Structure 1
Amino acid sequence: MKKAIAILLSLMLCLALPCSAEDTNKSEDLKPSDLRSESAILINADTGEVLFEKDADVLRYPASTTKIMTLLLAITMGGDLDRTIITSQGALDIQDENPALIPLEVGQEISLRDLIAATKVSSGNDGANLIAEAISGTQQGFVALMNEAAQKYGCTSTNFTNAHGLHNEYHISTARDLAIIAREAMKNEAFRELASLTKFTVKSNNKNQGKNLLSKDDIFLHPSTVEEEIAYYYPDAIGIKTGYHSNAGYCYVGAAKREGVSLISVTLKSTSYRRCFTDTIKLFDYGFSHFVSTSIEEIYKKNPMAIDISSFALDDEALGRLELSLHKLDPLADDHLVYPKGEEDTSLLNYNRYTQFEFTRPLEAPIAAGEVIGILTYIPVGSDKPIEYELIASRSVNRRLAIAPTLDEIRQYAETDPNPFPPFSVELLFILSLPVLAVAIISHLLYKLFTRKRKLKYKQKRRYTTRYYR
C-alpha cells in the first residue's frame, strides 16, 4: 500500500512540474530536430544568404504560399490597379470540397487593388483565379508567367500548375525556392505593404453588401486578447503568407526585421498553423541572436576619410589634413549591413567592397567648412539602386598667400585666355632673351675652358720634346 502511494505521489509531482520541449531549446543552439515542420529555411532577406535549413530541397506541395507569386505578378504586371474587374464563372470553378474563398459572385465588380488585398487576407482561391484572368486573359496563360518568373528569380525545383495552390501532383516547390520568391517579392514596396495586411473589408458592390476578412496569421502579427494565442505573437514579424491543404500540411512563409537585420523564413508540412508560428519564432530568434546589423554611416564614423589639401596656409595646424564627414542624401534609404556576431571585420570588408567615391572639386585651398568635396556611393547587395552620400569638409582650410600657381591653374589660364599671344613688353623681352643669354654664356664658358686645356696640353708637349733632345 505504501509503495503504491509513493508511486502515485511521484506521478503527481512529475505532472505538476513544467514540461515544455520548446523551452529547453535555446535559440543559440537551434537544430533541425527542434522544428516540427518537415522542411524549413531561414535566409538573410538583404543578401539571400542561408542562415539555417532543414530539408530545404525536398519537394513539397506549397499550398497557398503559391499566392506570393500570384500577388507579386498582379502588382507588377497588373497596370492600373484601380481598374474594375468583373468576376467570371471560370474564376469560381474550383475543384475542391472546401476551398478558401473571398467569396466572389459571378458578375461582381471589384477593383484589381481590392481583389489583390482580399485574395491575400482571405487566401481566396476564387480571387487568385480572377487575378490570373485579369492579368493574362486565361488562368493557364498566367501559370506560364508564374513559371517563367520562378526561373528568372533562380528557382530550380518549382513548377506551378495553378494560381491558387490547391493540390495537383505536379504543383511543387521547396523551402529554398519559396524563400527565393518571397525575397524577390519583398523587394517590391507595394508587396511589402500587402505582406503585413491581416484585415480587409470588401466594399459593398453590385452583388452584395461586402464582407470583413481576417487572415490566418493575424495572431502572429498582432497581440491577441485570447490567452492561449498570446504566445504566438512576434513583435518583429512583418508577415507574408499562410498555406494549407491535406497533402501539403500547414505552411508559412514569414518575414521579420529587427535593428536593421531582415529575415525571411519558410516552414512547410507542419501539423498546424500554431506549430508553423512556433517554428517561425524559433527561426527568427536564432537569426536575430546570431547576426547583427550596422550601417554605412556607423562604419564611416569609425573610419572617417581624411585627405591632404594643397596650397594650405602656413599657419594651418593640421598642415592641410582635412577630415570629411558623411551625409546621406536620402534619409530613408536602407544602408544596413548584416554580419555574424563577433565578426566585425566582415562588415568593414563589405563596406570596402560595395562603396566607391569620387571628388567633385580640386583638393586645394581655399575650402570652407560644410563644403561638399565629393560623393560616396554604396550599392546594397542584391540591389541595383545606389545610395549616395555627400563627403563634407569638417573645417575650413585657408589658402597660402603669394603662392606660385599650380600646373592645373596655369593650364586652365592658358585654355581660357582669348589671346594666345601675350602683349609685347620689356618684361616679355627680358623673359624671352633669358634662354638665349644663358646659352651664349654657357657656350662662351665652354669655349674658354676648351681652349685653355688645349693650350696647356700644347705647352706640356713642347717641354717634353725639348727635354728629350737635349
Structure 2
Amino acid sequence: MYTMKKFLRLQSLCLAFILLFLFASPAFAEDAAAPTPKGKILEEGGTFHESSTVTAAGLGMTSRGIALMDAATGTYILVGNGDQKMPMASTTKMMTALLFMESLNSEADLQKTHVIGNEVYVDEWDSSMAGFAKGKTVTYEDLLYGLMLPSGNDAAQIIGVVVSGSVEAFVEKMNTRAKELGMENTHFANPHGLHHSSHYTTPEDMAILAREYLKNETLKKVCSTQEYHIKTGMPTSEGRTVYNSNPLLGEVDGVNGLKTGFTDQAGSCLVSSCERDGRTIICVVLGSKDKNIRNNETKKLLDYAYRTTELVNLYDITGFQVLTVENVPQSWEDKPIEAYVDYDATVTPIFMVTNEKRALLMQEGSYKVTFNPKEGLAAPINVGDVIGTATITLDGVNVAEYEVISEEKVINRQHVITFFICVGSLVVLILAIIVRLIHRHSEKKEKRRMAYEAQRARQAMMHQQHQGRRRTYHD
C-alpha cells in the first residue's frame, strides 16, 4: 500500500538519479586556462632566412673562410666557404681545453697536479709555448691558462697525457668528440694545431666547437682573461705572467673570447665570441693574410651581425596565437572550436636577417600559421587535447612546428543523441510513475469515500429502525 511518504521518497530518488546523470555527461563548451606552453625548433643549426643577397664577398671579406653564428640558436648568420676544409692552427686548442674540462668531476679538480714528463717537448721548438719544464709539478689550472692565453703547445701535449695517458690516445678522443658535436668535416692530428696534412676543419665546424666551448663557464672565464700568473710547472719558482693573444679583448665592445691561431699554411686565424645586450655572436675567421686583416674583418662581421640581425621569439611575433578549427567530424554543434599554438617563448628563438633591422619582422603578414589536423581527428575532444600541429612560416620559409591544443570540449553527436534518449526515457518513466501514483491515490480516496458513505447509510438505517421501535412502544 502506497503512502504519501513513500511517494515523496520515490520522487526524490528519481530526481537525484537525473542530476547525477547530467553532471556525469560532457558539457557542450568549456573555456580553459592555457597550460604552460612548450615547443621546439624545427632545425637548430640551419642557415638563417636571408631577406637580402648579402655574401661574405659582398662585405669585402678576403679571408679564406668565415662563419658568423648566433650562439643561442646555432644559426649561421653568414658564411663564406663555410663547408670547405682548411687548416685551423691553434684554434685547435678549444677542443683540447673542452676535453680537459670534460674529464674533470668539478672545477675543484683544477687544483690537482701533474709531474711533467717528456710530453713537454714539442717538435717545433720555436712555436708558441707556455714555458713549462720537465720534472716540475704543475696544477691543472695553470695548464689550462697556459694553453689558452699564450697558446702553449707544450701545455696542449701535457693535457693530452693527463687526460688520456698519451698524446695519440688524446687525439683519438678529439676526433670522437668532433663527430659527437656534428663536426663532420673536421679531423685532428694533434692537440695544438701545428700543421699536418690530416689536421683540418671548416669555418662552420669551428663555430660548432666554439658554441660548445662557451657552454662551460670555467672555459668562458679563462678565454676572457687578459693576463694570468702561472705559479707552477715553470723552470723557476718566480713563475711567469702570460697574456691573452686575442687583441680584440678590451678593444672591441663585448668581445670576451675565444682563440687565435697562426701557421704559415693556415694563415692568421681568430675565433671570437662577443656579447652585446645579452646576445652572443660567434665569429670564425680562418686563413687571413695577416693579423690586421683578420682583426678588421672580425670587427666588421660582428658589427654586421648586430646591425642587421635580431634574436626574436615567435611569441613576440604572433602573440598567444589562437587558431580556429572548423568542421570537426562527428561534432554535435556545427560551429568551429578554438585552439592555441603550444610553444614556449623561452626556448624557441629564431633568427631573421633584414636590410633594415626589424623591418621584415614587423611587416604585416610576414608570418603565417597553418593548422594540420591530427589524422583521424573527430569528436569527442577534451580541453587540453592535442588536435594537430601548426606550421609557422616567415615569408614562405618554414621555421617551426608546434602542437595545437584544444581550448574547448567538443562532444560526439552520437553521445548527445544517446544522452537525450536516456533523459527522455527517464522523464517518461517518472511521469508514468507519477500518473500511476496519482491514479492509485485517487482510487484509494474514492474507496474511502464510498466506504464512508455506506457506513453513513447503515447508521441512518439503524437510526430509523430504532426510532420506529420507540414509537411502537409508546403506543
Fold conserved (TM > 0.5)?
yes
The answer on whether the counterparts of 1:62 and 1:248 sit within 8 Å (CA) in structure 2 is: yes
| 1:88-237 correspondence runs (5 A) | 88-203=116-231, 207-208=235-236, 209-217=238-246, 219-222=247-250, 233-237=251-255
Amino acid aligned to 1:245: T
> 1:3-37: CA deviations, max 9, x gaps?
xxxxxxxxxxxxxxxxxxxxxxxx99664261121
Q: Which moved more, 1:436-445 or 1:64-73?
A: 436-445
The answer on whether the counterparts of 1:261 and 1:338 sit within 8 Å (CA) in structure 2 is: no
SS in 1 for 2:257: coil
Give, in whole Å, the separation in 2 of the partners of 1:350 and 1:107: 66
Matched residue, 1:268 = 286
Question: Which of 274, 277, 295 is the matching residue for 1:256?
Answer: 274
SS in 1 for 2:273: strand
Give, in whole Å, the separation in 2 of the partners of 1:114 and 1:351: 54
In structure 1, the gaps of 5 or more residues are 1-26, 223-232, 307-327, 354-362, 364-433, 448-470
Instruction: Go from structure 1 to structure 2 and tell me whether the alpha carbon gap of 1:134 and 1:446 turns closer, same or farther (over 3 Å shift).
Output: farther
| 1:267-346 correspondence runs (5 A) | 267-294=285-312, 299=316, 303=319, 338-340=351-353, 341-344=358-361
Question: Which of 90, 102, 105 is the matching residue for 1:76?
Answer: 102
Q: How far is 1:51 from its partner?
A: 1.3
Instruction: Go from structure 1 to structure 2 and tell me whether the alpha carbon gap of 1:436 and 1:143 turns closer, same or farther (over 3 Å shift).
Output: same
Instruction: Go from structure 1 to structure 2 and tell me whether the alpha carbon gap of 1:28 and 1:191 turns closer, same or farther (over 3 Å shift).
Output: farther
Give, in whole Å, the separation in 1 of the partners of 2:200 and 2:159: 21
Amino acid aligned to 1:42: L
Instruction: Go from structure 1 to structure 2 and tell me whether the alpha carbon gap of 1:157 and 1:206 turns closer, same or farther (over 3 Å shift).
Output: closer
Q: How far is 1:156 from its partner?
A: 1.2
Instruction: Go from structure 1 to structure 2 and tell me whether the alpha carbon gap of 1:68 and 1:146 turns closer, same or farther (over 3 Å shift).
Output: same
Matched residue, 2:93 = 67
Matched residue, 1:381 = none
Give, in whole Å, the separation in 2 of the partners of 1:437 and 1:292: 70
> 1:414-452: CA deviations, max 9, x gaps?
xxxxxxxxxxxxxxxxxxxx99864323468999xxxxx
The answer on whether the counterparts of 1:85 and 1:134 sit within 8 Å (CA) in structure 2 is: no
| 1:420-435 correspondence runs (5 A) | none
The answer on whether the counterparts of 2:234 and 2:240 sit within 8 Å (CA) in structure 1 is: no
In structure 2, the gaps of 5 or more residues are 1-51, 323-344, 372-382, 384-426, 441-475
Amino acid aligned to 1:32: A
Amino acid aligned to 2:434: I
Q: How far is 1:118 from its partner?
A: 1.8
Q: Sequence identity of aligned pairs in percent?
A: 25
SS in 1 for 2:113: strand
The normalised TM-score by structure 2 is 0.57
Question: Which of 63, 67, 71 is the matching residue for 1:41?
Answer: 67
The normalised TM-score by structure 1 is 0.58
> Are 1:32 and 2:57 an aligned pair?
yes
SS in 1 for 2:66: strand
The answer on whether the counterparts of 1:42 and 1:265 sit within 8 Å (CA) in structure 2 is: yes
> 1:299-346: CA deviations, max 9, x gaps?
39x94799xxxxxxxxxxxxxxxxxxxxx9xxxx99966443334379
Amino acid aligned to 1:154: G
> 1:353-392: CA deviations, max 9, x gaps?
9xxxxxxxxx9xxxxxxxxxxxxxxxxxxxxxxxxxxxxx
Number of equivalenced pairs: 304
Amino acid aligned to 1:54: G
Question: Which of 424, 434, 439 is the matching residue for 2:432?
Answer: 439
Matched residue, 2:13 = none
The answer on whether the counterparts of 2:257 and 2:272 sit within 8 Å (CA) in structure 1 is: yes
Instruction: Go from structure 1 to structure 2 and tell me whether the alpha carbon gap of 1:335 and 1:234 turns closer, same or farther (over 3 Å shift).
Output: farther
SS in 1 for 2:260: strand
The answer on whether the counterparts of 1:107 and 1:207 sit within 8 Å (CA) in structure 2 is: no
Q: How far is 1:137 from its partner?
A: 0.9
Amino acid aligned to 1:198: Q
The answer on whether the counterparts of 1:260 and 1:293 sit within 8 Å (CA) in structure 2 is: no
* Aligned-CA RMSD value: 3.7
Q: Which has the larger radius of gyration?
A: 2
Give, in whole Å, the separation in 2 of the partners of 1:123 and 1:279: 22
Amino acid aligned to 2:72: D
SS in 1 for 2:296: helix
SS in 2 for 1:239: strand
Instruction: Go from structure 1 to structure 2 and tell me whether the alpha carbon gap of 1:293 and 1:121 turns closer, same or farther (over 3 Å shift).
Output: same
Matched residue, 2:76 = 50
Instruction: Go from structure 1 to structure 2 and tell me whether the alpha carbon gap of 1:284 and 1:236 turns closer, same or farther (over 3 Å shift).
Output: same
> 1:194-245: CA deviations, max 9, x gaps?
231221110156841111111221x3111xxxxxxxxxx3112122000011
Q: How far is 1:42 from its partner?
A: 0.8
Amino acid aligned to 2:244: S
Question: Which of 68, 73, 85 is the matching residue for 2:113?
Answer: 85
